Amino acid sequence: MKLYSVPLSPFAARVRLSIYRKGLDIAIVPPPAGGLKSDAFLSLNPMGQVPTLVLDSGMAIPESATILEYLEDVFPTPTLRPTQADALARARLFLRIPDIHFQNAPRILIGMRNPADRKEEVVKTAMENLNKGLSYIDHYLSGEAWAVGGQPSIADCALVPVLNAVSLLESIYSQPLIGQYPKLDAYWQAAKADAINAKVMAEQLAALQKM
């Protein structure tokens, strides 16, 4: 089994977090020569996106949320899936909020990190979408050590990589983002202190520095 991944993608980072935290023996590899739109990759995943999990059978599974659920089904121990229905619903919500409500804001803002190429109206709209999404996350956080309750879950796999990107945007744009929201800020400070989270965050940062 292997995971096609690129270090900076918060969606691929979600799955790497799950693999690291569950201690799974899954190879993490870059896309094949030619990249995501090459014939070799598109034959596996016609969407041309990472992450893509390739099973030993040859079946390729796209989409980070689907891969996270698959890993929980096949490798249930240690579990990253809350057992209570309401907690599980909240965990799945945290997978959806960045996908839907951020409107690609982190990607847009990182793409405009150079002031010489910056389009202020685009930045303004992206910041509004980003803040809206962050406020939703703050609202639904449990207020405990992890996003949903007292142990790590798929919710943390979803949130940590995207919040790492948001944290980088704070320094690029000299604007407070995470710190505006009390529960979110407390969650982020605790998340940064976790060694497995820090490993994925460092992978993302190293990739950004190479850009």
Task: Please give the structure tokens belonging to residue 116.
Answer: 């010489």
pLDDT at residue 183 greater than cutoff 90: yes
The mean pLDDT of 182-207, rounded to a whole number, is 96
Q: Long-range contacts for 34-42 (Cβ within 8 Å, ≥24 apart)?
A: 41/4
Which pLDDT tens digit goes with each residue over 73-117?
Answer: 999 999 999 999 999 999 999 999 999 999 899 999 999 999 998
What whole-number distance in Å separates Cα of residue 61 and Cα of residue 84? 26
Buried b (16+ CB within 10 A) or exposed e, 150-182: eebbbbbbbbbbbbbbbbbbeeebeeebbeebe
Q: How confident is the model at residue 71 (pLDDT cuts 50, 70, 90)?
A: very high
Query: Residue 209's pLDDT is what?
Result: 86
pLDDT band at 153 (very low <50, low <70, confident <90, very high): very high
Asked whether the beta carbons of 19 and 25 are under 8 A apart, the reply is no
pLDDT band at 211 (very low <50, low <70, confident <90, very high): confident
Confidence band for 124, pLDDT divided at 50, 70 and 90: very high
* pLDDT number for residue 193: 97
Q: How far apart are CA 113 and CA 78, in angstroms?
A: 39
What are the chain's domains? 2-74 (3.40.30.10), 85-210 (1.20.1050.10)
Mean pLDDT of 13-41: 96
Identify the H or E element spanning 44.
none
What is the predicted pLDDT for the residue at 76?
A: 97
pLDDT > 70 in the chain, percent: 100
Inform me whether the pLDDT recorded for 57 exceeds 80: yes
Under the banding of pLDDT at 50, 70 and 90, the label for residue 39 is very high
